[in-house]
Amino acid sequence: MNLSKVLIANRGEIALRIIRSLKETGLCAAAIYSEADQSCVHVQMADESYEIGAAAASKSYLSMTRIVDLAKKIKADAIHPGYGFLAENAEFASLCEGAGLVFIGPTPDNMRLAGDKLAARMTVEKLGVPVVPGSDHALLTLEEAKEVARQITYPLMLKASAGGGGRGIRVLSDESVLEEEFASAAAEARAAFGDPTLYLEKLIQRPRHIEVQILGDGQGDAIHLLERNCSVQRRHQKLIEEAPSPALSDSVRKRIHAAALSVAKGIHYRNAGTIEFLVDENDNFYFMELNARIQVEHPVTEMITGVDLVNAQISIASGQGIGVIQHEISQWGHAIECRINAEDPDMEFVPSPGKVEDYWAPGGFGVRFDTHLYPGYEIPIYYDSLLGKLIAWGRTRERALRTMGRALQELSIEPIKTTRPFLYEVIRHKEFIEGTYGLDFVEKMLETRSAEAE
């Protein structure tokens, strides 16, 4: 199908990223914006821009029917959801396709599978990919959960089947904690996802979070674009990602890539996504989840492979195929991404909205800053705190680290409190430099800082 105009159902940094790829492919980029985003850069950069509703996301960027109706009214051929908001909403994808619009993303079935963590576990296990030991069915009562927990043995993680973004997760050290947390976890899951279903997984000690970037044509063909390490997290929210993953043997790397491909091909995955794994201290890896969308951290993969992932998304959606074959994918250097959030690290990472009075973007060889910032921009209180993604590339990891350190020092966003100083501290930490860090790294680092401050 020949596309002509694409409506971007998102805002800020990712909307701007998509606009650039659309323009480079000769397509008309149409943007939407809320009342709070009239001065956002993506509104000016798009070929066409339309106000979609009030500041609250529920009345603008989450208004499915309003967005689809607008797309039809302006004669758009397709909708790109970016990430966040409606990007993983199977109902929205179905609504688009039912209206004759191309959805630039996974199929509704892909999304439904990804959104049901328990069903995804069972599907992946049937494909021969290792999963974390856990319950093989929904746990609806505390007594049932206790029985399963005794079989798997503690420590465990209690998770929402429809969960995502780190929400609805409880760490269980013993049965007494399960008794305390089960009801509240189910209530949280119902409130957040409309589904109280829970399941249990064995807690992997000091794991690393490794994700494999995939592209699929929806017909059973797929490729991987190497892996990323996403283990620098706070409360299950990623702060720093890098590609390729340090401290991962070549043999394990190859097996993880193969496992990801097995999943992508086995479920006839369409468009961009990630297959995510936990890797333990003994290099055993286990499937964790499928993310059915373009990821925030996709630039590090672009930097080491030379593949424009948004361009690939458009190619797949228009029926032109993935656009690259597996043997053409190779690693070139190393890339690191730091998420610059409007949060104050010295105040428990509390959000820090406000007016950007002074702004200086870093530059130089190997530096990329994906952002929608400019001097005078008013950071709204209504949306995610992500201001931009600072990416550094180097021929070696050591060189990429040096470049990132210099870029973080150059970056200035005043008087907004950001995560920049904390991220600079992270990349200079001995454990991070050695590449041996796991998912407990930030937690331990913050505990050490707190103890030293007393």
Residue of 32, 19, 38, 26 whose CA lies nearest to 2: 26
Instruction: Give the tens place of pLDDT for each residue, 48-66.
Output: 999 999 999 999 999 999 9
Model pLDDT, residue 397? 98
Question: SS3 letters for 252-267?
Answer: HHHHHHHHHHHHHHHC
Model pLDDT, residue 164? 66
Contact 333, 238 (CB under 8 A): no
* Residues 6+ away with beta carbon under 8 Å from 339: 238, 239, 240, 296, 386, 389, 419, 423
Task: Calculate the alpha carbon distances from 245 to 211, 304, 406, 454 in Å.
Answer: 9, 12, 21, 35
User: Which regions of the chain are under pLDDT 70?
Assistant: 163-166, 168, 453-454
Relative orientation angle of helices 142-152 and 175-193, to the nearest 10 degrees: 120
Name residue 171's amino acid.
V
**Residues with a known catalytic role:** 293
Instruction: Give the tens place of pLDDT for each residue, 416-447.
Output: 999 999 999 999 999 999 999 999 999 999 98
Model pLDDT, residue 166? 64
Model pLDDT, residue 401? 98
Name residue 188's amino acid.
E
E strands, 169-248, where?
Answer: 170-172, 198-202, 208-217, 222-234, 237-243
* Residues 6+ away with beta carbon under 8 Å from 447: none
Lookup result for tokens 């966040």: 84
Contact 144, 152 (CB under 8 A): no
Strand partners, 313: none
Sorted by where each starts, the structural domains of the chain and their CATH numbers stand as 5-104 (3.40.50.20), 133-202 (3.30.1490.20), 208-453 (3.30.470.20)
Model pLDDT, residue 454? 63
d(CA 390, CA 386): 11
Lookup result for tokens 């990349």: 427
Strand partners, 435: none
d(CA 392, CA 387): 17
Alpha helices in 286-338 (DSSP H): 298-305, 309-317
Model pLDDT, residue 165? 60
E strands, 114-155, where?
Answer: none
Task: Calculate the alpha carbon distances from 93 to 51, 242, 263, 322 in Å.
Answer: 21, 30, 21, 20
